[in-house]
Amino acid sequence: MKRILLTTALVFAAAGTASAMNTATDLSPTDRAEILRYVPNADLSNLTSEQVAILSATLYNGDNNEVGGHIRAILN
């Protein structure tokens, strides 16, 4: 239930920024929130476009057991 509420809140929060264009080095607000859920202390500043693409793919690969470890590896 909490996950559904969190997702709904994120969708509404992101709705205002949906019309804004993201650069290749920007994570979507939803991806940013998901990464911080897995790795609360993650430094998401100064990411390369390659890191953004890999992080996004990691979030949605279907293997939720090791997402936090993969994210840490990408950011280090």
- Of residues 12 and 39, more confidently modeled: 39
Rounded Cα distance, 34 and 55, in Å: 10
Mean pLDDT of the chain: 76
- Of residues 38 and 66, more confidently modeled: 38
- What's CA 67's distance to the chain center, in Å? 11
**Interval 29-43 mean pLDDT:** 91
Rounded Cα distance, 18 and 15, in Å: 5
**Interval 41-70 mean pLDDT:** 85
**Would you say residue 51 has pLDDT above 60?**
yes
Tell me what pLDDT residue 33 has.
92
**Would you say residue 58 has pLDDT above 80?**
yes
